[in-house]
Homo-oligomer: A and B are copies of this chain.
Amino acid sequence: MQEKHFSHSDILNLEQRFRAAFINSITGFKSLCLIGTKDNVGQTNLAVFSSLVHLGSHPPYFGFIVRPDSVDRHTLENILNTKYYTINHVNERFYQKAHQTAARYPKTISEFEAVGLNEAYLDDFFAPYVEESTIKVGAEFRERVDIALNQTILIIGEIQHVYFPEIAIASDGFLDLEKAGTITCNGLDSYHKTQKIARLSYAKPDKAPQIIH
């Protein structure tokens, strides 16, 4: 394959939208989820995110990034005000609706209704889940980390509930996202199904990894 190179100054000189598409691609395939929230007067909000990151298993923490110029400020406001939110995996059946939640709807319009996804309330949890999602996570806000460098914000939450298809969990706790139909994304707008290559055994210095069947 013919190789191309962009230096730092090449990147700074790219046209703005070209650069955004390019730089958003180079961090690799990303998780894709819808974050569901509700404000104190019952108005719901739903927004697509691709920056979920695992922070720990015990306690079960994860984070996601809010951009300074983002429409997802409604999500941030609701989380800071009410403390609860949901993470809903996206699958092929509704990925176009998930994408559409990124449009700049006014705060008075719920993206659930605007894009045609259904709210689900489970086990008296405050925030709405996406009924169509096969993996749903209820989270409670734990910490806000402001990144001074470029005014992004890392929001950290603790997992309170997980709903998942029984067929997707293996005997060792591995949750097979492919069996649940979860998809991934590349850059700002490219959606991808997956095809498993293999699971590999725990890496040890003195032996090659084995495929887990």
Contacts and interface: CB of A to CB of B under 8 A. Distances in A.
Interface of A: 1-8, 11-12, 14-33, 50-62, 65, 67, 87, 89, 92, 95-96, 99-105, 114, 122-123, 134-135, 137, 142-143, 145, 147-150, 152, 154, 156, 158-167, 169-170, 172-178, 180, 182-184, 186-205, 208-209, 212
Contacts of A17: 172-173
A18 to B, nearest CB: 3
Contact of A204 (B7, B103, B208): B103
A199 to B, nearest CB: 5
A147 B150 contact: no
Contacts of A162: 5-6, 11, 22, 26
B184 A190 contact: no
B174 A187 contact: yes
Given A150-B61, A187-B175, A104 B205 contact: yes
B104 A166 contact: no
Nearest to A170: B21
Contacts of A6: 161-162, 164
Given A6-B164, A15-B173, A145-B147, 19 more contacts: A1-B165, A1-B180, A3-B164, A8-B161, A11-B162, A19-B57, A21-B172, A22-B162, A23-B56, A23-B159, A26-B135, A28-B33, A28-B182, A29-B184, A104-B205, A175-B187, A177-B186, A178-B186, A190-B199
B27 A165 contact: no
A161 B5 contact: yes
29 contacts: A1-B167, A2-B166, A3-B164, A5-B161, A5-B162, A7-B123, A7-B160, A8-B158, A12-B59, A19-B58, A20-B58, A22-B174, A26-B162, A28-B30, A28-B32, A28-B33, A30-B54, A54-B65, A55-B147, A55-B149, A100-B203, A103-B204, A105-B205, A147-B154, A177-B186, A190-B196, A191-B198, A191-B200, A193-B195
B16 A175 contact: no
